[in-house]
Amino acid sequence: MLENLTGRLQGVIKNLRGQARLTEENIADAMREVRMALLEADVALPVVKDFIARVKERANGREVLQSLTPGQAVIEVVNQELTALMGQANVGLNLAAVPPVVILMAGLQGAGKTTTSGKLAKLLKEQKKKVLLASADVYRPAAITQLQTLAKQLEIDCFDSNPQQKPLDIAAQVMDQAKKSYYDVVIFDTAGRLAIDEAMMAEIKALHAYLQPTETLFVVDAMQGQDAVNTAKAFGETLPLTGVIVTKLDGDARGGAALSVRHVTGKPIKFIGVSEKVDGLEPFHPDRMAGRILG
């Protein structure tokens, strides 16, 4: 996860740590390297610019220049700003609503929505929640089957969606069942497309209006690189997102998307996907991630 970025930044860190004195020039050199490393890791340009400007301003301040270990102080500033970029502290799921609480999953096809729905259901089941999974991906009956198979494996209930029905009708039936059978949480998986398209956005908007979810999670594949940022923007403009889940961080050598989406959407990354397996979902901790990146 983010190995390349870590590798690149460690060179800069080693250099800084060795400096007994720092000048603006030293700092500018280091920042140039950090900038390159972030861009190579696929962090979006506006995000990089903003980040570098903040670090530079603080690094050239008294706090750093008069420090006994200025190199170390700059590293600390980078660490703090990297953490801030990704959102400071972990933000968990908000389940404080009258049950059944709805979690709506949004994102492009292949982002990992279905897999992540199963992973989340498993987590919630472990917290003793009664969970109902449901899919409204009527365009791909295989996606409905995929969720049903996953649910069976996890011993979690799954709504029997009929692909002949409209997503909104499915939503109505799901809510009906969830209320009648006293489910705590409904995880509602939706249809994605290969790229942003108006019909998909209109559909998920209508589902959102109907379901009134407590959580609207945007699922994004870290391997999408720069496209992840554009997708995040589009979904963020269409839906009042409450959080983001970045998947496939295990397989991504660059992973800069994870650093950009918080900045672009303004919404917290709540979880990260770190494997294909059902337990491959972790709460996201910006400070730990920053620590991991800086080595």
Sites of contact with ligand GDP (CB under 6 A): 107, 109-115, 192, 247-248, 250-251, 273-276, 280
Contact 265/232 with Cβ under 8 angstroms?
yes
Helix crossing, 45-59 with 70-86: angle to 10°? 140
**Is 69 labelled as part of a ligand binding site?**
no
The smaller minimum CB distance to ligand GDP, of residues 56 and 248, is found at 248
SS3 of 1, please? coil
The smaller minimum CB distance to ligand GDP, of residues 99 and 283, is found at 283
89: left (phi over 0), alpha (psi -120 to 50) or beta: beta
The smaller minimum CB distance to ligand GDP, of residues 110 and 141, is found at 110
The smaller minimum CB distance to ligand GDP, of residues 141 and 251, is found at 251
**Is 114 labelled as part of a ligand binding site?**
yes
* Shortest spacing between CB 212 and ligand GDP, in angstroms: 23
- Closest to 105 measured CA to CA, from 54, 171, 45, 48: 171
* Shortest spacing between CB 253 and ligand GDP, in angstroms: 13
**Is 113 labelled as part of a ligand binding site?**
yes
* Shortest spacing between CB 252 and ligand GDP, in angstroms: 9
**Is 110 labelled as part of a ligand binding site?**
yes
* Distance (Å, whole) CA 43 – CA 245: 17
* Shortest spacing between CB 140 and ligand GDP, in angstroms: 8
- Give the H/E segment covering residue 281: strand 281-283
Phi then psi for 44, rounded to 5 degrees? -65, 145
**Is 93 labelled as part of a ligand binding site?**
no
Binding-site residues from annotation for GTP: 107-114, 189-193, 247-250
